[in-house]
Amino acid sequence: MKAFIQRLLAFSIGPAGGALIAFITIPVTTHFVSPAEYGKASMFALALTMLSTFQYLGIDQAYTREFNEVDDRKSLFLHALLFPLLFALLFLLVIVLNLDTASHILFGARDQYSAAILLGISLVFITFERFILLSIRMEEKAFEYSMFTIFIKLVILAATLLFVLMIRRDFLAVVYSTAAGQMIGDSFLMIRYRSYFTFRGFHFDRVLLRRMVIFGLPLVVAASASTILNSAGRLALRTWSGFYEIGMFTAALKIAAVLAVVQSSFTNFWVPTAYRWYSEGRSIRAFQAVSEGTLLFMSVLYFGILLFKDQLMFLLSPQYVPAAGVLGLLCLQPVLYTVSETTTLGIVFSRKSYLNIWVSICSLLPCLIINWLFVPHYGVLGAGLATGISYVLFFWSRSYFSSKNWTGFSLAKHYSVVALLLAAGVLNAFHFRFMVLANLGMLLLVVLIQRRSIITVYMKWRGSKNNNHSSTFFS
């Protein structure tokens, strides 16, 4: 268990450091930029996320699946990079040829050409970043992965401070600093790992590329649906509300990103580890112990966020405090995604990636319907409710389809805890006098449901501490 925890902590350094940097960047930005301007800036980030999901074609996931199956990993890297890079360049060309339309959709104005062009250029740079960092991660170079993740965030922070403090204080300051920092950081990354781009001895392998595309295409449908799921709240607010509400909603999402750091840290570590355990024929008890430990940690952390939600929003700026009520619902996204990474293994182990399409349908359709019904009347609260409920359905459907394709473990405990988390998120959307006591009561109930998990984790920790051989269970 000691080796398990050490690798997890090493992979956590990067996301945790990145979160700390973001926690500095966000208040600096929100202090000088109004919610309406911040809402416009968030549309740039939203478009970058959505377009990059489409351009990868699911090949980034296929790359991690094939990484331990091939001998020539440099050739695999170049094959995986081919289509996503071509699509990034295509998106850049489309944006350049339709600057008026792109500017209007993103920022509600037709003259923001430079910001629109920067979106296309950023897509090209993050393509290189994505596959380089995936390579480092799959090689399980935890510390190296973390350091470069932090480095890119630091460059973006420096650019943000420069623009906001010395140049301008509107949404363009956020857009320019994000794009400039991303390009500088990614350029250094490409130079540092230029050996990945060696074409000496490279032979085009149509069979390999076809295998990755076949594996990836169902995932791109699922990933695109997942991206829409994550973005539906802001898209609904853009349609039926205004940039002010988008800014408030995005600010709450940034606080929820504190938990997303844990999600990223765990996923970066867990995916290669789970594949390795499966290939080694590891006992189902090992997977179950990780799943229950993850559920325990994430649920306790969730209530920690709820207990201090008002103070956390105040850190951004007093003008963003009204968005605190929706924070619990938005935090369900990283919490349930993280836990589902331990319950969805049957889908990836069976190579039935097309099942992710059904997972997306089960969560996306209710999300769109709830947004349509509630956002026009309740604004930010309606968008938060849609996000929270849809991620409960995401967790359930991911776990359900996994259990049909793998001899897994009982999830009764998981479902009970998830139901309590959703109830807490809805309850915290409404302010009343004894809110803190209600949160503490629900936290106690969650801990009682998971008391056996607490005992199991404690016994494994004691065993690994007293007997080094027992640590192989989690190695």
The residue range of the domain holding 46 is 1-204
Query: Do 253 and 386 belong together in one domain?
Result: yes
Q: What pLDDT, in 10s, does the model give residues 229-239? A: 888 999 999 88
**Which pLDDT value is given to residue 472?**
47
Residue with tokens 């416009």: 40
Q: In the predicted model, what is the mean pLDDT of residues 48-60?
A: 86
Q: What pLDDT, in 10s, does the model give residues 192-243? A: 988 888 877 778 888 888 888 888 887 777 677 777 888 899 999 988 988 8
Query: Do 253 and 136 belong together in one domain?
Result: no
Q: In the predicted model, what is the mean pLDDT of residues 418-445?
A: 90
**Which pLDDT value is given to residue 26?**
74
Evaluate whether residue 223 is within a structural domain: no
Cα dihedral 447, 451, 456, 457 in deg (nearest 10): 20
Query: Do 312 and 173 belong together in one domain?
Result: no
**Which pLDDT value is given to residue 352?**
79
pLDDT confidence bin for 335, thresholds 50/70/90: very high
Evaluate whether residue 475 is within a structural domain: no
**Which pLDDT value is given to residue 396?**
93
Residue 27 CA to residue 365 CA, distance in Å, equals 34
Residue 59 CA to residue 71 CA, distance in Å, equals 18
Tell which of 160, 187, 204 closes a domain.
Answer: 204
Tell which of 187, 204, 221 closes a domain.
Answer: 204
Tell which of 150, 181, 204 closes a domain.
Answer: 204
Handedness of CA 418, 422, 425, 428 (dihedral sign): negative
Q: In the predicted model, what is the mean pLDDT of residues 400-428?
A: 88
Evaluate whether residue 224 is within a structural domain: no
Q: Which of 136-145, 227-236, 307-316 has the lowest mean pLDDT?
A: 136-145
φ, ψ at 291 (rounded to 5°): -65, -45
Residues 136, 148: contact at Cβ < 8 Å?
yes
Q: Percent of the chain having pLDDT more than 90?
A: 26
Helix axes 243-280, 113-138, angle to 10 degrees: 20
How many domains does the chain divide into? Answer: 2
Evaluate whether residue 302 is within a structural domain: yes
Residue 160 CA to residue 41 CA, distance in Å, equals 13
Query: Do 187 and 287 belong together in one domain?
Result: no
**Which pLDDT value is given to residue 462?**
62
Q: In the predicted model, what is the mean pLDDT of residues 73-82?
A: 87
Query: Do 195 and 265 belong together in one domain?
Result: no
Handedness of CA 334, 340, 341, 342 (dihedral sign): positive
Query: Do 170 and 285 belong together in one domain?
Result: no
**Which pLDDT value is given to residue 202?**
78
Query: Do 257 and 162 belong together in one domain?
Result: no
Q: Structure tokens of 26?
A: 């966000």
Query: Do 135 and 44 belong together in one domain?
Result: yes
Per-residue pLDDT at 105 exceeds 90? no
Average pLDDT, the chain: 83
Q: In the predicted model, what is the mean pLDDT of residues 179-195?
A: 90
Please classify residue 390 by burial: count the beta carbons closer than 10 Å to its beta carbon, then call 0-12 exposed, 13-18 middle and 19+ buried.
buried
Residue 51 CA to residue 421 CA, distance in Å, equals 31
Compare 233 and 57 and report the one with higher pLDDT: 233
Query: Do 182 and 249 belong together in one domain?
Result: no
- The CA-CA-CA angle for residues 387, 322, 104, to 5°, reads 65
pLDDT confidence bin for 2, thresholds 50/70/90: low
Evaluate whether residue 225 is within a structural domain: no
**Which pLDDT value is given to residue 469?**
46
Evaluate whether residue 214 is within a structural domain: no
Evaluate whether residue 430 is within a structural domain: yes
The secondary structure element, H or E, covering residue 218 is: helix 206-240
**Which pLDDT value is given to residue 331?**
92
Q: Which of 195-204, 254-263, 430-439 has the lowest mean pLDDT?
A: 254-263
Query: Do 61 and 122 belong together in one domain?
Result: yes
Please classify residue 266 by burial: count the beta carbons closer than 10 Å to its beta carbon, then call 0-12 exposed, 13-18 middle and 19+ buried.
buried
pLDDT confidence bin for 464, thresholds 50/70/90: low
Per-residue pLDDT at 390 exceeds 90? yes
Evaluate whether residue 26 is within a structural domain: yes
Query: Do 245 and 362 belong together in one domain?
Result: yes
Handedness of CA 416, 421, 427, 429 (dihedral sign): negative
Amino acid at position 230, single letter: N
**Which pLDDT value is given to residue 259?**
75
Q: Percent of the chain having pLDDT more than 70?
A: 91
Q: How far is CA 343 from CA 134, 337, 363, in A?
A: 22, 10, 16
- The CA-CA-CA angle for residues 112, 118, 119, to 5°, reads 95
Compare 299 and 65 and report the one with higher pLDDT: 299
Q: Structure tokens of 4?
A: 């398990």
Amino acid at position 128, single letter: F
Query: Do 339 and 462 belong together in one domain?
Result: yes
